Amino acid sequence: DTAVSQTPKYLVTQMGNDKSIKCEQNLGHDTMYWYKQDSKKFLKIMFSYNNKELIINETVPNRFSPKSPDKAHLNLHINSLELGDSAVYFCASSQDLREYQETQYFGPGTRLLVL
C-alpha cells in the first residue's frame, strides 16, 4: 500500500492556467509538506500543515495555495501558472513537526511542465 500518494504524476499545461495537485497519506501522520525541486535539484519547502493549521509558509508567490480538507490530505492549487513554475513538486508527511527525530516520507512527485 502506498504511504504517500500524489496525483497527477505528470502535468503539462499552458502559461496562465490554474491547476491543482493532490496529496494523500495513509500513515496517520499529523504534519504534511509541499516541496519544490527545481532543475538544480534543490528541495525547497513551500508549505507545511499540522493538524489542518498552516505552520510554515515560506516566501512563495500567493499564486500557490495549500488546501487541507482533513489531516490525511494536503492539496496544492496554483493560479496563473508561469514558466518558472516548471519543476517537480513533492508532497511529504511526518508524525509531528516538533518531534525532531521524525522522518519525512515523500510521495512520488508531480512533474509539472508549463509551456
Partner 1 sequence: GQNIDQPTEMTATEGAIVQINCTYQTSGFNGLFWYQQHAGEAPTFLSYNVLDGLEEKGRFSSFLSRSKGYSYLLLKELQMKDSASYLCAAMDSNYQLIWGAGTKLIIKP
What is the per-residue DSSP string for the chain? --SEEEE-SEEEE-TT--EEEEEEE-S--SEEEEEEE-TT--EEEEEEEETTEEEEE-S--TTEEEEEEETTEEEEEE-S--GGG-EEEEEEEES-TT-TTPPPEE---EEEEE-
Q: Of the two residues 2 and 80, which places its CB atom closer to partner 1 in the complex?
A: 2
Considering only 22, 72, 73, 106, the residue that binds partner 1 (CB under 8 A) is: 106
Q: Of the two residues 14 and 101, which places its CB atom closer to partner 1 in the complex?
A: 101
CB of residue 45 to partner 1, shortest distance in Å: 6
Which residues from 16-55 bind partner 1, rule CB under 8 A? 40-45
Point out which residues bind partner 1 (CB under 8 A): 40-45, 56, 90, 97-98, 100-101, 103-109
